[in-house]
Structure 1
Amino acid sequence: MTEQDQPSTGFDRLLHFTLPHRDARGRAVRLGPVLDTILSAHSYPAPIRQMLAEALVVTALLGSLLKDEDSQLTLQAQTQDGVVDLLVCDYRNGELRGYVRHDRARLDELGPAPSLYSLFGEGFLAITFDLAATRQRYQGVVPLEGNSLAEACETYFFQSEQVPTLIRVAVQSSASDCVAGGMLLQHLPEGEEGRERLHAQLDHPEWEHVAILGGSVKPEELTDPALDLETVIWRLFHEEREIRVEQGSALERGCRCSVAHYCDVLSRFDPEARAEMRNDAGKIIVDCAFCSREFDIDLP
């Protein structure tokens, strides 16, 4: 299945795989140090850490479907009246970042394991693909329904892309560290990516077979650091005729904030607008929610 001299895939690297005779493709990932770095930017309570960890796994899996360098995948969950009013994550060139804005007082009233609905209420999920090669943007929006963000993303792919999709995510968290893993499977009937998928259907026999096998993955298999991802995929699909695997991008925390970046953004505002942004010392203070840093910007 793999080259003997190829290192195994553990933490913070994507794994691509395909089942050619089943017209299926997959992705797997296990986040460790990168996840801890992102979560440490804020003192998130346990339920928010759990949800953001899941969202970052899903974002990495979806982002790995991008073909062109510098393309970006953004996952955003939002509501007007929920305990969580904004969750946003994005992926670009192996760089991953995420942030959650929430009402701590209302969250504490929900108990230790709140449901997705209790956190967001009547929310929505938006998935945006910014394609670098064509400079086009595609966005799909679906209701934030189901028991998890992964289930909401499955709904998005079938409704917006007509691609049957299975996503499994597991999170193992403690006060000191967090491990999260996930796997994505998709059915691409009639072969190659990019072809018109006239026969996409949830009850396609090939897809039913693959989904049953993939759905049997155990949460501990996705998070166990003693298991490389190749072993997990082999356990699930070893009876298949052929499994093709290829290591994908290494992942890192990718906040792109810098003084130069914010100077460029602010320079697009007219001088009167920038004057209103300045504090008493004449500085514009920019707070990056992703990494919890403040930048003093001095522009005329």
Structure 2
Amino acid sequence: MNEDDLLDREDTGFDRVLAFTVPARHARGRVVRLGPVLETVLSAHDYPKVVKHVLAEALVLTALMGSLLKDEGAQLTFQAQSEGGAVDLLVCDYRGGEIRGYLRHDPDKVGALEDDCSLETIFGTGYLAITFDLAVSNERYQGVVPLEGASLAHACESYFAQSEQVPTLIRIAVRSNGPRCTAAGLLVQHLPDGEEGKERLHAKEDHPDWEHVAILSASVQAAELVDPVLNLEELLWRLFHEEEEVRVERLALLERGCRCSVEHYRAILSSFPEDQRAEMRDEDGTIPVDCAFCSKILRIPA
């Protein structure tokens, strides 16, 4: 069986988030493996290898954290901004099973990078902002942490520790095979007082249940995360088969969800004064808009 066949197999877990809980240990988690959707997002721009790796990791993190949202219409935005590095802007978001992402980089600085780079080397000095927009209550929550550590996953662990006081373990793997790119991740959290309410903020890193779950979760190998032959349920069984109960739920398949449309940009441009819109118009009377997420150029009659 070749890799093309594997990419078409739903049971491989490609482009699906698997939610799980370990009730006796007061733990919940998500595991995701991105394949065709990841390749679609990456194909929008001619990204160098190092940049692809960073954006792939960010998209996995966005899917893992975004899938924690329960409210319909809620959105998670994952944004890194920095100075002095090869990458100065990274933006991804998740809404209702749709993900998208974009990364802006300096080609000269990227060309000087090694394959294995720290956040400081890639981004220089900067910050990571994680924003939750809740459509039902119209509330917004945002946490900001420095871009420090070995990877974006480490920065996200710091976010959960500092902004939500929730012990969190995250593991990410990215595999490139020619034009193919697969990325996967595991997120596990300890919620000893339940998922709802302020009580969960009293979770402790040294709780024996969390220590147990963290040790099991940390044993996952990068090769297991991106192995298309090993489906996500089997991966969780390997990690937690000795537990008395593990509840698993398959969430909806993920899609690339760029929201660019004539109507969307027309509404945005309508907020500009007429004299500014006149300066933007081409000779044919339309305003060209270049969508950074999908590289489409839309001509907006505005």
TM-score bracket, normalised by the shorter chain, equals over 0.9
Displacement of 1:283 in angstroms is 2.6
Counterpart of 2:65 in structure 1 is 62
Computed over aligned residues only, the root mean square deviation of the Cα atoms, in angstroms, reads 1.3
**Alignment correspondent of 1:80:** 83
User: What letter matches 2:103 in structure 1?
Assistant: V
Contact 1:9 1:15 in 2 (8 A): no
Deviations 1:114-163 (A, max 9, x none): 32210111110000001010111111100011100011000000100010
Partner of 1:11: 14
Residues 197-248 of structure 1, C-alpha deviations (whole Å, 9 max, x = no match): 2531211111111000000000011000000000000000000111000101
The question of whether the paired residues in 2 share the 8 Å contact of 1:28 and 1:182 is answered with yes
Contact 1:74 1:88 in 2 (8 A): yes
In the alignment, the residues of structure 2 paired with residue 192 and residue 118 of structure 1 have an alpha-carbon distance, to the nearest angstrom, of 36
Out of 103, 111, 116, which is 2:114 matched to?
Answer: 111
- Cα distance 1:27–1:198, how it changes in 2: closer, same or farther (>3 A)? closer
| Aligned residue type for 2:83 | Q
Asked if residue 233 in structure 1 is aligned to residue 236 in structure 2, the reply is yes
Match of 1:63, as an amino acid?
Answer: G
Identity of aligned residues (%): 65
**For the residues of structure 1 that align with 2:34 and 2:95, how far apart are their CA atoms?**
16
Which residue type is aligned with residue 300 of structure 2?
I
1:292 aligns with 2:295: yes
The DSSP-based 3-state class of the residue aligned with 2:200 is coil
* Inter-partner Cα distance in structure 2 for 1:278 and 1:192: 50
Is the contact made by 1:12 and 1:32 (CA closer than 8 Å) also made in structure 2? yes
Query: How far 1:282 moved relative to its partner?
Result: 3.4
Cα deviation for residue 113 of structure 1 reads 2.6
Q: Which residue of 1 aligns with 2:7?
A: none
Residues 118, 149 of structure 2: 8 Å contact kept: no
Runs of 4+ in structure 1 off by over 4 angstroms are none
**What secondary structure is seen at the aligned counterpart in 2 of 1:122?**
strand
Q: 1-side partners of 2:149 and 2:115: how far apart?
A: 19
Give the equivalent residue in structure 1 for 2:199. 196
Matched, 1:124 2:127: yes
Query: In the alignment, which residue of structure 2 is the partner of 1:157?
Result: 160
Deviation at 1:9, TM superposition (A): 5.6
Q: Give the 3-state SS of the residue equivalent to 1:220 in structure 2.
A: helix
Aligned with residue 30 of structure 2, among 27, 32, 35: 27
Q: Is contact 1:9-1:247 (8 Å) kept?
A: no
The answer to which of 69-78 and 264-273 deviates more is 264-273
Output aligned runs, 1:95-106, within 5 Å. 95-106=98-109
2 CA distance for matches of 1:194 and 1:249?
A: 26
Give the drift of 1:285.
1.2
Q: Give per-residue Cα distances to partners, 1:46-73, cap 9 Å, x unaligned.
A: 0000111111000000000001111100
Amino acid at match of 1:272: D
Supply the distance in 2 between the matched residues of 1:79 and 1:198 (Cα, whole angstroms). Answer: 30
- The aligned residue for residue 173 of structure 1 is 176
Which residue number in structure 2 is paired with residue 4 of structure 1? none
TM-score, normalised relative to structure 1: 0.95
Amino acid at match of 1:154: E
Question: CA 1:192–1:66 in structure 2 vs 1: closer, same or farther (change >3 Å)?
Answer: closer
What CA distance in whole angstroms lies between the structure 2 residues aligned with 1:268 and 1:262? Answer: 10
> Structure 1 stretches of 5 or more lacking a match?
1-6
- For residue 85 of structure 1, give the secondary structure of its aligned residue in structure 2: strand
1:3 corresponds to which residue? Answer: none
* Aligned counterpart for 1:268 among listed residues 268, 271, 278: 271
SS of corresponding position for 1:123: strand
Deviation at 1:287, TM superposition (A): 0.6
Matched, 1:71 2:74: yes
Whole-angstrom CA distance in 2 between matches of 1:199 and 1:295: 49
TM-score normalised by the chain length of structure 2: 0.94
Q: How far off its partner does 1:271 sit?
A: 1.1
Aligned to 1:219: 222
Per the alignment, in what secondary structure is the counterpart of residue 191 of structure 1? coil
Alpha carbons 2:41, 2:294 under 8 Å: kept? yes
Q: CA deviation at 1:195?
A: 4.4
